[in-house]
Structure 1
Amino acid sequence: MQDLTLRAGDWHGLGKDAACVREAVFVRELGIEAPLISDEADLAAVHVVAYREGDAIAAARLLPDGAIGRLAVLPHERSAGVGSKILEALLVCATERGDECVRLYAQRDAVPFYLRHRFSTVGEPFYEAGVEHIEMVRQLGK
């Protein structure tokens, strides 16, 4: 992971870069409507953004209730471990603040990725923003 830098912080410090990654992945690549990629929860979340050579290449957030979301990696950076680094950083943040578990809604294609990170599926698949998802959880600190 040459020149990979992770930054954790709030929306005020990282929002512009996180929004650029989300726009590229969710809106332009997946066709999700732009108003659905950000919400008021961003203001209360811990954000992690990955940078390579100063450019934002991946982002995700951790909400106060332990929900992980908006994990996005630019296409040319996939399969390089960047998504794992972002996820691991969020898991550290959740553990350090005392969360007992985290949860997320995984897109169908991303389920194997989260299974590799010791998440388990919960319930039945559902559609959000026109994309099939399933809830996944992971216990922390055990």
Structure 2
Amino acid sequence: MNWTLEVVPVPVTDMDRAKEFYADKIGFKVDLDDEVAPGMRIIQLTPPGSRCSIAMLHGMPTAPGTREMTPGALQGLQLCVTDIEAAREELVARGVVVSPVRHVGASGWEDGKGETWNSFLTFEDPDGNGWVVQEAPSELSAR
């Protein structure tokens, strides 16, 4: 049996502002923006090339056995790209506040690219949800 990660909920305070950020600034594709029942809205977006989406929910009951997340509580969700410098340039051009490219060195985090799998940048959405972008070898990007 396969277990696939398909949707990650992202807690936000303003659905329209978050949709604009993820679609226009980050470049995610809007898959769904629908009021599924009176007062219950779902916006689902997918990063280019990914099978896993993010979902922002308003008015939906929390799933049994789970707790509601506070906007800004999601930290460390990771995206992978094959060219970290190009990804950074694209995000900056779209108006996203992005960290410098960094790698883990002998004394901790150091500026600049590292070796394979060791180049990262970070950014936050308007609610403070924190994302990590990692450069991955291109032969693994299609998995």
Q: TM-score, normalised by structure 2?
A: 0.30
Greater share of residues in helix: 1
More relative contact order, 1 or 2 (CA 8 Å, 6+ apart): 2
